[in-house]
Amino acid sequence: MAGILEFAPAIVLLPFLSFLIALGAGRYMPKGGALAGIGATAGSFLLAVATFVAVSGGQTYNQTIYTWAEGLDAVDLTFGLLIDPLSAMMLVIVTLIAFLVHVFSLGYMNDDGQTGLPRYYAGLGLFTASMLGFVVADNLLMAFMFFELVGLCSYLLIGFWFRQDGPPSAAKKAFLVTRFGDYFFLIGVVAVFATFGSAAFAGPDAFPVLAEEALAGEHSVNTFLGMGEQAWFTVVGLLVLGGVVGKSAQFPLHTWLPDAMEGPTPVSALIHAATMVAAGVYLVARMYGFYALTPTTLAIIALIGGFTALFAATMGVVKKEIKQVLAYSTISQYGYMMLGLGAGGYVAATFHLMTHAFFKALLFLGAGSVIIAMHHNENMWDMGGLKEKMPVTYYAFLSGSLALAGIVPFAGFWSKDEVLYETLIHGLGGSPILLAAYAMGLLAVFFTGFYTFRMVFLTFHGEPRSETARNPHGVRWNVKAPLAVLGVLAATAGLVNMVPVEKLFGIKGIDFLHQFLDGSFDSLNAHHYAELIPYSSGYIGGEAGTVAIGAAVSLGLALAGAGLAYVLYNVPEPVEHTEKLGSIKTVLYNNYYQDEYQVWIATGVVQPISRVLDKFDQGVVDGVVNGVSSVSLFLGSRMRRIQSGVVSNYAALLTLGLTALLLGLGLIGGWFA
């Protein structure tokens, strides 16, 4: 298995190959190019697993494979591969989910008789290739480039049904909002190059290591705008954070994700649940050595994470369409990961990233199969009673919901609980911000439990409330198989890192993820980060006590939320209970008017400014140019009047000219003196 890492580039290139095949020969292939996609992702998945095994055996790989721009006496810009536990794990996640989504697409797109399939599978192939390219990137520039390519693919795939009005504008919005975030990220990349001279994540001149040494005073790096090193690193961290917030749909820049549901559901599952949205969090994890040095940035990340978790969870409570609920749930769950990263819980956040990828992809695919059954009607109030007719989908969906809500044996519980645990102990260790974030995170657990089970009960339980719900459209194996696989994963993924069990019952050695993430380069592994983070941990009633209390509280809240949903919605004829919320209802319906103010900024502020500028440009700047030309035209027309056509006038002018000339000469020549 030693040489397997040499094949790492193949993981990225296989999907790219499928992109080319689908684009070029998609029309002529059966299933519109899907087989190429499935084959490629399957191949990548196997390679990824092999890489995972090799990496867990302690190998790492950090090689520059392509020089993009070779600076003669300036720094070279290169592409390279960095395979370490973090990226190996992410490789497996991305390739697995991409493979399952490709299979699911057979059911969702092909059986549904969709047209333009080559374009769809080409988009998926390009997306998978770009995402994998981003995961294995060894420097910030390559990461940024694939970050943007992923944004492009999400634009193409959201806007797949471009013949209607909805998807293209949703795609445009998604691209623009993430582009706004990427603007800050690009400044961050350029700032890192300018400050450290290199943007590598690992290796001798890795910029986190350089930053660490600079702070320790070993050597100086050039800072800008007259800031000290600590302040400048914070600014650079925040700049890169801009891109992360944009791509992972965190608080200010989250409005594009719910609209991105306009795209086909497999796309939502792959892109807007598991992989692309994870890119932001993965990036922070990738350069965590840099973030760990700046406490203010970590605090900001934690705050954004906590607030987004609560903020999105509240909005998820009142949504009608199943995919909208899942969209807000995604935003909320990524809030948790950011909270984990902000609170110094590097392993916790990565763990939640992994488990969330599985159960959220599962939920989306489940929703997809429900949508197939309901002939593309996503409104939960027209569903109900699908439990008996779609058992496989139901049980997979249930497993995913339990994981999402964070009920004990399921994956969600372990990862979310560890995130909250890390936040709690570091909060108690003397940083009130983390406590506030912890409180928000905890409150969000309740809402998460509530909206998850509200969704489950409305969709699957009770009496079917519409004709299509009574006899739903059947789904074939290609939908059920991925659901089953993900269902199992959502249930068992938690076993990888059962920290509470280890702490409470003292069974050492079962936190495999911690050990796994420790096997990286010395500057990239988990305990190095643990040393770097500026938090110390405080406990109430010893370590075991805090674990127990934390787990109990979060489980209790989740069950409470689920219970409330059970009471309200698990009745044969559930009815909307939103009037109880009173005025809050309208606020929640309109998602705190976030969409409105962002759209207002674009159309209400920027467009009028550009129109005014345009008028100014036409009127004044162009006016000046035309003015100058009109002056010469005016002078011309005046001069023309001298040519009256009458000969005597010319004779008179001639005589006057002569006399004037004579006078002039006389004066100069002194004739008159």
Partner 1 sequence: MTTKPQLKLGSHLVPGLAAVALFVVMAVVFLGASFPNPQGFAEGANLTASIGYTMFNLDFGSVPGESMLVAFEIIDLVLVAALAGAVLLARREGESGQMRTILTDGGRELKRTLFDDEEGDH
Partner 2 sequence: MVPAQYYLILSAAVFCIGLFGLLTRRNALLFLMSVELMLNAANINLVAFSYYWGNVTGQTFGLFTMALAAAEVAVGIGIILVLYRNFDDVDVTKATTMRW
Partner 3 sequence: MIIEALIAVTFLAALVTFVLPDRIAGKAAFALSLVPVLGSLVMWQQYDASGNALLGGNIAFETDVVWLQLGQYDLHWMVGVDGISLPLVVLTTILTTLAILSSWTPISERESQFYGLMLLMEANLLGVFTALDFFVWFVFWEAVLVPMYFLIGVWGGPRRKYAAIKFFVYTNIASLVMFIGFISLVFGLGDSISSLRLPEIAQALQAGQLSGFAGLSASALASVAFIAMFLGFAVKVPVVPFHTWLPDAHVEAPTPASVMLAGVLLKMGTYALLRFNFTMLPETARSFALPIALIAVASVIYGALLALAQQDLKRIVAYSSVSSMGYVILGLIAYTTYGVGGATFQMVAHGLISGLMFMAVGVIYNTTHTRMVTDMSGMADKMPVTAGIFVAGAFGYMGLPLMAGFAAEFFIFKGSFESTVMAAMPLFTGAAMFGIVIVAGYLLFAMQRTLFGPFEFDGDYEITEAPFHDVAPLAVLLLLTIVLGVQPDIFFTMIQEAVNPILELGGAF
Nearer residue to partner 2 within complex by CB, 228 or 645:
645
Cα(385)–Cα(465) distance, integer angstroms: 8
Q: How far is the C-alpha of 410 from the C-alpha of 305, rounded, in Å?
A: 23
Question: Quick check: 644 binds partner 1 (CB under 8 A)?
Answer: no
Q: What's the first-to-final CA gap in the chain, in angstroms?
A: 116
**482 C-beta neighbours (distance < 10 Å), count:** 30
Q: Does 24 bind partner 3 (CB under 8 A)?
A: no
Q: Which residues pair with 511 in a beta bridge?
A: 497
As to burial, measured by CB atoms within 10 angstroms (0-12 exposed, 13-18 middle, 19+ buried), residue 614 is exposed
**Residue among 47, 138, 133 nearest 96 (CA):** 47
Q: How far is the CB of 643 from partner 1 (least distance, A)?
A: 17
Q: Which is nearer to partner 1, 115 or 659 (CB)?
A: 659
One-letter amino acid for residue 387 of the chain: K
Using CB under 8 A, which of the segments 452-460, 543-551, 590-598, 645-653 binds partner 2?
645-653
Nearest CA to 289 among 71, 471, 520?
520
CA angle 388, 393, 397 (to 5 degrees): 110
Which segment (67-75, 99-107, 422-430, 564-572) binds partner 3 by CB under 8 A?
Answer: 67-75
Q: Are 53 and 519 in contact (CB under 8 A)?
A: no
Number of residues forming the site for partner 2 (CB under 8 A) = 10
Q: Which does 645 bind (CB under 5 to 8 A by kind): partner 2, partner 3, partner 1, none?
A: partner 2
**d(Cα 103, Cα 157) in Å, to the nearest integer?**
17
DSSP 255-312: THHHHGGGS-HHHHHIIIIISHHHHHHHHHHHTHHHHTT-HHHHHHHHHHHHHHHHHH
Residue 204, binding choice from partner 3, partner 2, partner 1, none, Cβ under 5 to 8 Å by partner class: none
Contacts (CB under 8 A) with partner 3, residues 595-614: 602, 606-607, 609-611, 613-614
Site string for partner 1, 647-666 (x = CB under 8 A): -xx-xx--xx-xx--xx--x
For partner 3, which residue of 20, 190, 481, 544 counts as binding (CB under 8 A)? Answer: 190
Tell me: does residue 643 bind partner 1 (CB under 8 A): no
Interacting residues with partner 3 between 338 and 367 (CB under 8 A): none
Is 329 within 8 Å of 272 (Cβ atoms)?
A: no
3-class DSSP state for residue 61? strand
Closest distance between partner 1 and the C-beta of residue 611, in Å? Answer: 59
Query: Shortest distance, CB of residue 242 to partner 3, whole angstroms?
Result: 11
> Any contact of residue 113 with partner 2 (CB under 8 A)?
no
Stretch that binds partner 3, among 297-305, 496-504, 537-545, 618-626 (CB under 8 A): 618-626
Q: How far apart, in whole angstroms, are the C-alpha atoms of residue 579 and residue 586?
A: 10
Q: Does 507 bind partner 1 (CB under 8 A)?
A: no
Asked whether position 163 contacts partner 3 by CB under 8 A, the answer is yes
Choose among partner 3, partner 2, partner 1, none what residue 219 binds, the Cβ cut-off being 5 to 8 Å by kind: none
CB of 629 to partner 3, least distance (A): 7
Write the burial class of residue 342 (CB in 10 Å: 0-12 exposed, 13-18 middle, 19+ buried). buried
Tokens representing 606 are: 């920027």
Binding partner of residue 552 among partner 3, partner 1, partner 2, none, CB cut-off 5 to 8 Å per kind: none
3-state secondary structure 312-374: HHHHHCCCCEHHHHHHHHHHHHHHHHHHHHHCCCHHHHHHHHHHHHHHHHHHHHHHHHHHHHC
Distant-in-sequence, close-in-space partners of 69: CB < 8 Å, separation ≥ 6: 76, 77
The one-letter amino acid code at 365 reads L
**Candidate ranges 137-145, 335-343, 394-402, 491-499; the one touching partner 3 (CB under 8 A):** 137-145
Interface residue with partner 3 among 10, 74, 552, 605 (CB under 8 A) is 74
Taking CB under 8 A as the rule, does residue 633 contact partner 2? no
By the rule CB under 8 A, 643 interacts with partner 2: yes
Site for partner 2 in 304-323 (CB under 8 A): none
Helix (H) or strand (E) holding 80: strand 77-83
Axis-axis angle for helices 8-25, 117-135 (nearest 10): 160
Given 652, 660, 661, 665, the residue binding partner 2 (CB under 8 A): 652
Residue of 24, 39, 168, 534 interacting with partner 3 (CB under 8 A): 168
Rounded distance, CA 514 to CA 518, Å? Answer: 6
Burial 369-404 (b: 16+ CB within 10 A, else e): bbbbbbeebbebebbbbbbebbebbbbbbbbbbbbb
> Could you tell me how far CA 50 lies from the centroid of its own chain?
27
Looking at 521-529, 547-555, 616-624, 649-657, which segment touches partner 2 (CB under 8 A)?
649-657
Q: Please tell me whether residue 205 binds partner 3 under the rule CB under 8 A.
A: no
CB-wise, 543 or 614, nearer to partner 3? 614
Closer CB to partner 3, residue 173 or residue 426? Answer: 173
Distance in Å, CB of 627 to partner 1, minimum: 38
566 contact, one of partner 3, partner 1, partner 2, none, CB 5-8 Å limit per kind: none
Q: How far is the CB of 644 from partner 2 (least distance, A)?
A: 7
Can you give the binding site for partner 2, defined by CB under 8 A?
640, 643-648, 651-652, 655
Can you give the binding site for partner 3, defined by CB under 8 A?
67-74, 77, 141, 144-146, 148-149, 152, 159, 162-165, 167-169, 172, 175-176, 179-180, 183, 186-187, 190-191, 193-194, 222, 224-226, 602, 606-607, 609-611, 613-614, 617, 621-622, 625, 629
Can you give the binding site for partner 1, defined by CB under 8 A?
648-649, 651-652, 655-656, 658-659, 662-663, 666, 671-672
